[in-house]
Structure 1
Amino acid sequence: MTAGISTGTCDLPAADGSWRTVELCAPRAWQDHPQPYTSRVAFAAAHVVADPLGENVPGAPAAVDWETTLAFRRHLFRYGLGVAEAMDTAQRNMGIDWPAVQELITRSAAQAREFGARIASGAGTDHRLVLSTVAEVAEAYLEQVEFVEGAGSQVIVMASRHLAAVARSAEDYLSVYDTVLGQVREPVILHWLGEAFDPQLSGYWGSADVDTATATFLGLVRQHADKIDGVKVSLLSADHEKGLRAALPAGVRLYTGDDFNYPELIRGDGSVHSDALLGAFAAIAPAASAALSALDDGDLDRYDAEINPTVALSRHIFARPTFYYKTGIAFVSWLSGLQPGFTMIGGLQSARSVVHLARIFELANEARLLPDPELAAHRLGLVLAAAGVSR
């Protein structure tokens, strides 16, 4: 019997060929919270849902299931989360092309206005195939910034692979960002994406030494503090984030991008805390909502009780190679009944093993994040059967 599914239990495979039986946890009735939170600003970086009939093979133009993609954003709004749109979670630089990005931002921004929800969207340089100079990189950034602002979204200035390739010094980075920040209309979010998420961004800010790069980054933020709403840092180091957070100018937020250590960083130490811009929140939206509601109530014990059971799931989704975490986000969405199929643009559904996916199911089940555990177990069984795994 495929996956050993029976009423109330599900058998899961391990890499060594063994199997384990898990109990299906009763679904939890999570509370809706369509209003934003008062104690933290929270964005979920949302994925895109592929058209299952589209030619979503590696290198092909993205074919997106727009209805389901937008419905997923309404799911996030339901829990009071803003949407961080067209980020790496949405497969920027890993399948989604610029025409699809433009349509995604336009549609999502319009929907956010309709629901009174917050949205911030990524502006980068990926619409240009070749950029040879820092001046050309700055020009490309400004083209995307203009588009995002024109769509009615806040801008997230994403890290640029082009800039990482052509920059020869910290001054080259500062030159580009000075130009961009000098022309934005409203305060932006700066995104420092670490090489665990994108190896082509190694040495960003002009140095492979994190302390040296941080000094360059801080100097930029201090110079342009009036144009920066906050910074999103995705280096997966709680200690680094705490140090950076303490050094930021007054009024500049730190949006944690640490999908391993977000509970303690968002909780804070009683005087300072991080806000959130997390891909993990797309997978754990109901639990994140419950935890943020507890923070609004000043109930730290309830916050811990709500957020801590999600950590094992997030850490597994973001396990190395970290840049394939998008596969786990889409898989949880499918298991949860939020999309009709487990197909991704660029064929990225193949980026994780069935053993890895089975563990995602197990951890989502333990966190009571599966609205219909029997459906989720059935869908896992379909994946295992397609891979030739049976007991």
Structure 2
Amino acid sequence: MTIRLPDAHGVLRTHEPRTEPLAPTPGTPFTSRTVLSAAHVVADPYADVHPGSPAAVDWDATLAFRRHLWSHGLGVAEAMDTAQRGMGLDWAGAAELIRRSAAEARATGGRIACGVGTDQLTATEFGHPYGLDEIRAAYEEQLALVEESGAQAILMASRALAAVAKGPEDYLEVYGHLLRQAAEPVILHWLGPMFDPALEGYWGSADLDAATHTFLEVIAAHPDKVDGIKVSLLDAQREIALRRRLPDGVRCYTGDDFNYPELIAGDERGFSHALLGIFDPLGPLAAEAVRVLDTGDTDGFRRLLDPTVVLSRHLFQAPTRYYKTGVVLLAWLAGHQSHFTMVGGLQSARSLPHLARAYELADGLGLFPDPKQAEARMKNLLSLYGVNQ
């Protein structure tokens, strides 16, 4: 059997799907690295929604996907940008997601960390009419909910803070206040503007060296309250330089979906743990690779994970923030959900050639537990665009 796929020039080419998946098996948590997958949400395809309405989530399918990740030993990073936080999922929906997923984690023994932000403060046509007091209060509300749920907190970057902060001192004040009151060590998240343009100039400067200085100053003032940092700048050398400057005991969780194999493998001076959106579709394969790394076999780890980078770079190509569309496509093709629908209608954010290439690359990696089902579903999608087989 073959399938005809459109390329970037609109020309149909023939692809011969795999007949067998790689089929990695579930297993226990890892010993050499801490690895969390940022997980997507499954929309309710039957909900009567419209642009701007609250997200309608299929809770059963959403929680089932988290159990899938936990079954392979991965932790879950919940209510992050992969879950369309701020791109279809508002704070009310994120709060419910945190409550439900944290309860599921307790029931199954899975590791979970949840995003804490300020997205209940929404911009108006006049910008962000908030001051630092309101931003602190918004962070506190979300931090309290995450801590009450029993999950670890991930302090996410704030669009509101980026909009109103006058300089590094405002970041030092807000983050210092939050870290002093955090019940347990948190993960600090530096999300680059390629993932969210509203975060340009975070930490008080568009100069990344100056921003890094402020970021490290926050950590140095409260090392006992920082479990680690998640760096999503898509710059491997900058991440390596930053992790070498961290205080002892503070981990670096790579968020670099372009260079993760080399960063997780590390070098003679250290390595990165992982908190990655690409580990949503790669979950079972990524878990198998990390278990190989647990044995000390770095080359074997790289042999498994290096070939996945082409797919990841494709999904995360500019505009990077729309990578979620490819992630959800692959979840549908892999049988984790019954439809290709996203909250906020974001399934329309990538072109058909982009989706076709994502399918082709994922199929080549053996990511689909049932390749025939994936092929049939991809053909159905193609037919909606008028591509006859």
Question: Fold-level match, TM-score > 0.5?
Answer: yes
- The match for 1:11 is 4
- The match for 1:294 is 292
Distance 1:202 1:60 in 2: 27
- The match for 2:125 is none
Corresponding letter in the other structure for 2:254: T
**Structure 1 residue corresponding to 2:304, chosen from 280, 303, 306:** 306
- The match for 2:280 is 282
- The match for 2:18 is 25
**Matching of residue 90 in structure 1 with residue 88 in structure 2:** no
Distance 1:32 1:111 in 2: 21
Distance 2:50 2:256 in 1: 30
SS of the residue 2:28 aligns to: coil
- The match for 1:118 is 111
Cα separation, partners in 2 of 1:29 and 1:362, compared to 1, 3 Å: closer
Distance 1:139 1:93 in 2: 18
Corresponding letter in the other structure for 1:241: E
**Structure 2 residue corresponding to 1:36, chosen from 6, 29, 35:** 29
SS of the residue 1:347 aligns to: helix
Superposed, 1:82-231 pairs within 5 Å as: 82-129=75-122, 131-231=129-229
Corresponding letter in the other structure for 1:273: F
- The match for 1:345 is 343
Cα separation, partners in 2 of 1:319 and 1:57, compared to 1, 3 Å: farther
Distance 2:130 2:91 in 1: 19
Distance 2:265 2:36 in 1: 16
- TM value normalised by structure 2: 0.97
| Matched-pair contact (CA < 8 Å) for 1:131–1:137 | no
Distance 2:10 2:114 in 1: 43
| Matched-pair contact (CA < 8 Å) for 2:26–2:72 | yes
- The match for 1:77 is 70
- TM value normalised by structure 1: 0.96
**Structure 2 residue corresponding to 1:63, chosen from 53, 56, 67:** 56
Q: Deviations over 1:137-168 (max 9, x none)?
A: 11110110001101111000000000000101
Corresponding letter in the other structure for 1:154: Q
Superposed, 1:226-237 pairs within 5 Å as: 226-237=224-235
Distance 1:24 1:374 in 2: 8
Distance 1:32 1:155 in 2: 29
Aligned-residue Cα RMSD (Å) equals: 1.1
Judge which range, 381-390 or 76-85, deviates more: 381-390
- The match for 1:4 is none
SS of the residue 1:229 aligns to: strand
Distance 2:107 2:186 in 1: 22
Corresponding letter in the other structure for 2:86: N
| Matched-pair contact (CA < 8 Å) for 2:10–2:353 | no
Distance 2:258 2:50 in 1: 31
Distance 2:71 2:3 in 1: 30
Distance 1:351 1:56 in 2: 17
Cα separation, partners in 2 of 1:66 and 1:268, compared to 1, 3 Å: same
Q: How many corresponding residue pairs?
A: 384
Distance 1:104 1:34 in 2: 25
Distance 1:16 1:238 in 2: 31
- The match for 1:322 is 320
Any stretches of 5+ residues in structure 2 without a counterpart? Answer: 123-127
| Matched-pair contact (CA < 8 Å) for 1:56–1:347 | no
Question: 1:378 Cα deviation (Å)?
Answer: 1.3
Any stretches of 5+ residues in structure 1 without a counterpart? Answer: 1-6
SS of the residue 1:182 aligns to: helix
Q: Deviations over 1:92-134 (max 9, x none)?
A: 1101122211111111011111111110000100112355111
**Structure 2 residue corresponding to 1:52, chosen from 41, 45, 53:** 45
Percent of aligned pairs with the same amino acid: 56
Distance 1:110 1:12 in 2: 42
Cα separation, partners in 2 of 1:132 and 1:47, compared to 1, 3 Å: same
Question: 1:30 Cα deviation (Å)?
Answer: 2.8
| Matched-pair contact (CA < 8 Å) for 1:317–1:329 | yes
- The match for 1:3 is none
Cα separation, partners in 2 of 1:234 and 1:24, compared to 1, 3 Å: same
| Matched-pair contact (CA < 8 Å) for 2:22–2:366 | no
Corresponding letter in the other structure for 1:84: A
Q: Deviations over 1:286-313 (max 9, x none)?
A: 1101110001111112101110121111
| Matched-pair contact (CA < 8 Å) for 1:32–1:78 | no
Q: Which runs of 4+ in 1 moved over 4 A?
A: none
